[in-house]
Amino acid sequence: MIYSCYFKLRIKQLFRISKGIGVVRSLILFGLFYLGLYLLLKTNQGWALPIATILGLTFYHNERKDKDFLLLQTKHAISLFRIEYLLIGLPIVIIECLKAHFWAAGIITVAAVVLPGIKTIKWKSATIPLPFLYKGGIEYIRMFRLYGFLYLLLLLFTFVGARHGNITIGKVCLIIWGVVQSMAFASIPRRQELTFFLNYPTFQKYLIRSNAWNVAITFIPLITIVLIHSFVLEDIVFSACVMTGSIFYLWNVSMVRYLFPFTLPIALYQLIVLIPLFFYSCFIPFLLIPFALLNVVCFILLKNNTRQIWN
């Protein structure tokens, strides 16, 4: 009875977490997960997938918050953890068995059984300064602190793909980071925050400068890796388009969040308009023109909408 109740509760928690972080973030995280799984399946190193699975299970077990509570409330907590970890690792075990890597399947199974008996490791982390980002861009700095590990993973995927002659992985990583950056402006700010700026042109100068600087700083390492391994006209044009499109994307999101009263319309606007327009503009440079015109429209709408603040 306790096992069925526990797993029903875990399923409800999964839906609650997905609803809490939003549709866009959920899709981005699922996309990154499947991209990482695809790369691990394509690699020729047989140890990569089981090591990644064991590290993921270890991190999940160490960071889960309900562990102490369950250990105090029920005698079956260790059994619950083992069954849960075995179910999580079951798809990977099946994949390894189909590839005839029975040793890897056995290692993952043993790790899932042994992990519940390991004590929690306490991490001590200090705030890492980010002097290379725009000093006034508090929203972007907060986003980078939350998703900085994803940036490092994308940087690693780009490098590994380029070393193996697969530049497409680097292009995918550039597009993903262009979308992830929009999380900096996912929240609805208070309109009183605009009073910190002298006038509307000053506010717009801040948006353009901060977004252009942050996009350039974070995109240059990724683009450099791509162009070093494939310095052809097609990749040069793509790199210029993805950087320009990302600046337009961030500028647009940073403006429209003052026009919408809730986060759901912003998420739908990004899914329906901005993300498709950004994606296709990376491959079709002509689409940067309507992207720029869309920003001009948002510029005018926001100017009319905030006219009372500076009058």
pLDDT mean over 195-219: 88
The helix/strand/coil state of 258 is: coil
pLDDT mean over 31-45: 71
Both 286 and 146 in a single domain? yes
At 53 the pLDDT is 85
Both 159 and 93 in a single domain? no
Mean pLDDT of the chain: 83
Among residues 178, 160, 177, which one has the least CA distance to residue 169? Answer: 160
Distance CA 178, CA 166 (A): 20
pLDDT mean over 193-204: 83
At 279 the pLDDT is 92
Lowest-confidence range among 131-145, 161-175, 232-246?
131-145
Both 183 and 52 in a single domain? no
Distance CA 307, CA 311 (A): 6
Long-range (24+ apart) CB contacts under 8 A made by 294-297 are 294/248, 294/252, 295/248, 295/251, 295/252, 295/255
pLDDT per residue over 104-118, tens digit each?
888 888 888 888 887
Residue 47: CB partners within 8 Å, gap ≥ 6?
Answer: 104
Long-range (24+ apart) CB contacts under 8 A made by 59-68 are 60/88, 61/85, 61/115, 61/116, 61/118, 62/118, 62/120, 62/121, 67/120
Distance CA 291, CA 252 (A): 9
At 221 the pLDDT is 92
Both 172 and 295 in a single domain? yes
Residue type present at position 263: T
Both 158 and 90 in a single domain? no
At 54 the pLDDT is 86
Both 281 and 144 in a single domain? yes
At 178 the pLDDT is 92
Indicate if the pLDDT at residue 204 is higher than 80. Answer: yes
Whether 133 is in a domain gets the answer: no
pLDDT above 70 coverage of the chain, percent = 90
Both 111 and 255 in a single domain? no
Both 43 and 173 in a single domain? no
pLDDT per residue over 73-106, tens digit each?
777 778 888 888 888 888 888 888 888 888 888 8
| The total number of structural domains that make up the chain | 2
Both 151 and 278 in a single domain? yes
Kindly state the tokens that stand for 159.
């490098």
Structural domain harbouring 35: 2-117
Distance CA 8, CA 175 (A): 36
Both 156 and 112 in a single domain? no
Whether 83 is in a domain gets the answer: yes
Both 146 and 7 in a single domain? no
pTM for the full predicted model: 0.64
Distance CA 125, CA 127 (A): 7
pLDDT per residue over 270-295, tens digit each?
888 999 999 999 999 999 999 999 99
